[in-house]
């Protein structure tokens, strides 16, 4: 048995290890057929709104070198359906549950959080501020520090659980956004969300995705993600859930050295359903090679 301590504390919630699944890349019912979800530090459920969202037209997934593009559009059945299906299912597992929330207005975000207030199986709420604000002409919530502060402050008031704010990388200065979220009451930050990307089918002379552009994720974005986690760790005092191209135990350690408290797998879950388990098997071995006995020792060690 490994002597390495993998337990971490994310915004007051104890996790048995730092590995979490990223929203939109993980289906508890499907993935639990491959392994016991209790092995994970935490599970993030797919983004959910106050009512069902149909998502974008297909095709909405495209492979690309070093990653993938998606324009799923937060297709979800609504918070009430999630409360009836996903949360009861998660009762059987000893792992933290994070619910990712979406909205097109501050009021929509608040309604989702209010619907989750009495749910004991929800340990943390992750606020996805990469949604367009329909009341402000479609400007993305997460790209304007003032708008970030406004939405986070409002949602914090109607959220009982610790609030994680998920940051968009599609900004000029990620630290400005992070500081705004912290000032408004965020308990933690998660980053990065997907980058904007596009692919064109040269034979059909058309974009591959129906929406033309989509979110770019996978190993190719990891250097950007690590850089942003490093910058944000230096700029704020609250913990970070790092993500972006995590495929191996070495990737997890890299994010933690940059300043992350916990680390999420995203695209890896789609490439190989067993990816989180394989990473967890490797993690203590790699840490032992580095002479590390407690994973918390290496957090943010890069000057």
How many residues appear in the chain? 303
For the question of whether the overall pTM of this predicted structure is more than 0.85, the answer is yes
Instruction: Kindly report the CATH number assigned to the domain that includes residue 253.
Output: 3.20.20.70
Convert the pLDDT of each residue in 53-105 to its tens digit: 998 899 999 999 999 999 988 889 999 999 999 999 999 999 999 999 999 99
pLDDT tops 60 at residue 7:
yes
For this structure, is 110 an active site residue? no
Convert the pLDDT of each residue in 133-151 to its tens digit: 666 665 688 999 999 999 9
Q: How far apart are CA 225 and CA 245, in angstroms?
A: 8
Total number of domains constituting the chain? 1
Give the rounded percent of residues in the chain with a pLDDT score beyond 70: 97
**pLDDT recorded at residue 73:** 83
Whether 68 is covered by a domain: the verdict is: no
| Dihedrals phi, psi of 265, to nearest 5 degrees | -95, 135
Whether 303 is covered by a domain: the verdict is: no
- 3-class DSSP state of 233: helix
Whether 203 is covered by a domain: the verdict is: no
Cβ neighbours around 40 below 10 Å, total? 24
Q: What is the mean predicted confidence (pLDDT) over 49-55?
A: 92
Whether 205 is covered by a domain: the verdict is: no
Convert the pLDDT of each residue in 201-259 to its tens digit: 999 999 999 999 999 999 999 999 999 999 999 999 999 999 999 999 999 999 999 99
Whether 211 is covered by a domain: the verdict is: no
Provide the residue range defining the domain that includes 127.
8-57+73-197+216-298
Torsion-angle region of 273 (φ positive above 0: left; ψ -120 to 50: alpha; else: beta): alpha
Whether 63 is covered by a domain: the verdict is: no
Q: Measure Cα distances from 64 to 106, 194, 204, 272 in Å.
A: 34, 14, 17, 16
Convert the pLDDT of each residue in 103-128 to its tens digit: 999 999 999 999 999 999 999 999 99
DSSP 104-169: SSHHHHHHHHHHHTT-TT--EEEEETTSEEGGGTTEEGGG-HHHHHHHHHHHHHT--S-EEEEPPS
Catalytic residue among 68, 102, 131, 240: 131
Whether 186 is covered by a domain: the verdict is: yes
Convert the pLDDT of each residue in 24-42 to its tens digit: 899 999 999 999 999 999 9
**pLDDT recorded at residue 1:** 47
Whether 239 is covered by a domain: the verdict is: yes
């Amino acid at each position: 048995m490994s002597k390495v301590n993998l337990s971490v504390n994310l915004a007051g919630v104890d996790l048995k290890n730092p590995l979490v699944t990223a929203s939109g890349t993980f289906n508890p019912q499907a993935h639990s057929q491959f392994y016991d979800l209790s092995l994970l530090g935490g599970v993030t459920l797919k983004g959910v709104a106050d009512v069902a969202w149909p998502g974008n037209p297909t095709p909405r997934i495209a492979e690309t070198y070093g990653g993938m593009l998606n324009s799923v559009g937060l297709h979800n059945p609504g918070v009430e359906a999630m409360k009836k299906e996903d949360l009861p299912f998660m009762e059987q597992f000893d792992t933290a549950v994070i619910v990712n929330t979406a909205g097109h207005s501050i009021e929509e975000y608040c309604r989702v959080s209010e619907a989750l207030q009495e749910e004991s199986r929800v340990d943390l709420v992750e606020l996805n501020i990469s949604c367009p604000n329909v009341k402000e002409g479609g400007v993305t919530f997460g790209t304007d520090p003032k708008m970030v502060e406004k939405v986070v402050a409002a949602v914090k008031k109607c959220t009982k659980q610790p609030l994680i704010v998920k940051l968009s990388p599609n900004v000029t200065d990620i630290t400005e956004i992070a500081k705004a979220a912290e000032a408004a009451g965020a308990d933690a930050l998660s980053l990065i969300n997907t980058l904007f990307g596009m692919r064109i089918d040269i034979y059909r002379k058309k974009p591959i995705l129906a929406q033309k552009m989509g979110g770019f994720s996978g190993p190719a974005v990891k250097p950007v993600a690590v850089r942003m986690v490093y910058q944000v760790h230096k700029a704020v005092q609250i913990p970070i859930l790092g993500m972006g191209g995590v495929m191996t135990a070495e990737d997890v350690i890299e994010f933690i050295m940059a300043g992350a408290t916990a680390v999420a797998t995203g695209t890896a879950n789609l490439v190989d359903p067993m990816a989180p388990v394989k990473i967890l098997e490797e993690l203590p071995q790699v840490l032992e090679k580095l002479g590390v006995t407690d994973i918390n020792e290496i957090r943010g060690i890069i000057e």
